[in-house]
Amino acid sequence: MYDYIIVGSGLYGAVCARLLTEAGKHVWVVERRQHIGGNIYTEEQDGVIVHKYGAHIFHCSNQKIWDFVNRFSKFSPFINRPVSIAKGKLYSLPFNMLTFNQLWGVTSPLEAKKIIEKERIAFDRDPKNLEEQALCLVGPTIYNLLIRGYTKKQWDKDPKELPAWIIKRLPLRFTYDNNYFDDTYQGIPEGGYTRMIENLLNGIRTDTKVDFLHKRYELSSMARNIIYTGALDEFFDYDIGVLEYRGLRFENQLIESDNVLGNAVVNFADEEVPYTRKIEHRHFAVTRAPVSIVTHEYPQAWRPGEIPFYPINSPINMNLHEKYLQRFNRNEGCFCGGRLADYKYYDMHQVVGAAMQFVDRLSVK
């Protein structure tokens, strides 16, 4: 009899498993996929560590979270400095003085602020959609060149159909700082995220290719408690509706070169380019491999049974999730958490923090 069966070996499940084990609990982790780690899974190919489900950079300013993850991996410093290509020209991200110089030739913050203030479109009401919000924040030049096409590809919707909150905190930096994140600590685990998950799960029974939902009654009888990290609509067989996501498709290229893009992440803002970005994995970690692996990332429609990536947090979907959550919480001894169960887009440090808080609330120590 296990104290806890944890469904899912992604970051949330692995952190819960480690903390509960250290608290003296008997834990079993079951994973539906053929590998552990969920969407932060990495693997080595031809001497290059590949982020199989898109680029992941760990960043946080919380000392407790940073100290915790460093118990299970040494982190190599990595600063994310993505660039965007639009109309054949390259622009720095996030929007900063380098971007403003590339757009308008300005060299001082005062010049840049004057142009943006002149470009901004004022509304006599709160912006109703993403397009209005962007025009209110940065004006038509930046919006039409660097935001509109990328957004349409990402969500397969006209920005006028998307809620304003998606882009409400669009960062504008009037410094020559192109560090994408503001956090104190930023890096990538040496050897990849899979190695870190392996260390988190070291000594804990972990079985892959186990579909909990198909064996829920058998498996539930073997544990006092269940921690479920999957999608709640799937848990109930979608009986009152399907929560919507955007999907992704990845195409990898092995190229006989030690430098193809010159950067880890390159966005493509033009709507007619079918992918949203390219990732050159060798730039995330030091490697002596003579080859490079470049991933093209294509947004696509999502259907149940496929890997979900970005939740579509419309009012209808949020209301549906709340109904599923209320039903789930009526199951005694069942707990849920993580990006799928919470139906939220989380950064990795938020997942770790949520798992730590959850275990603390269980009062198991």
Q: What letter represents residue 201's amino acid?
A: L
Tokens matching residue 276: 């949203």
Tokens matching residue 23: 């608290």
CA–CA dist 137, 239 (Å, integer): 41
CA–CA dist 328, 228 (Å, integer): 10
Based on the residue annotation, tell me whether 169 is a catalytic residue of this protein: yes
Catalytic residue among 18, 148, 173, 282: 173
Tokens matching residue 183: 């956090």
Catalytic residue among 277, 339, 342, 343: 277
Catalytic residue among 297, 324, 339, 342: 297
Catalytic residue among 124, 125, 169, 330: 169
Based on the residue annotation, tell me whether 216 is a catalytic residue of this protein: no
Catalytic residue among 43, 44, 190, 347: 347
Based on the residue annotation, tell me whether 297 is a catalytic residue of this protein: yes
Based on the residue annotation, tell me whether 173 is a catalytic residue of this protein: yes
**Helices and strands in the chain, H and E counts:** 13, 17
Contacts by 221-224 with C-beta closer than 8 Å and gap 24+? 222/1, 222/2, 222/5, 222/28, 223/1, 223/2, 223/3, 223/4, 223/5, 223/28, 224/1, 224/2, 224/3, 224/4, 224/333
Catalytic residue among 161, 306, 345, 360: 345
Based on the residue annotation, tell me whether 282 is a catalytic residue of this protein: no
Helix axes 11-22, 348-361, angle to 10 degrees: 40
Q: Please say whether the beta carbons of 107 and 114 come within 8 A.
A: no
Catalytic residue among 33, 205, 216, 246: 246
CA–CA dist 44, 214 (Å, integer): 31
Buried b (16+ CB within 10 A) or exposed e, 159-180: beebbbebbeebeebbeeebeb
Exposure of 85 in the CB half-sphere (CA atoms within 13 A): 14
CA–CA dist 153, 173 (Å, integer): 25
Based on the residue annotation, tell me whether 345 is a catalytic residue of this protein: yes
Determine phi and psi for 284, rounding to 5 degrees.
-80, -20
Tokens matching residue 322: 């709340």
Q: Please say whether the beta carbons of 234 and 54 come within 8 A.
A: no
Based on the residue annotation, tell me whether 81 is a catalytic residue of this protein: no
Q: What would you measure as the largest C-alpha separation in the chain, in angstroms? A: 68
**Catalytic residue numbers?**
169, 173, 246, 277, 297, 345, 347
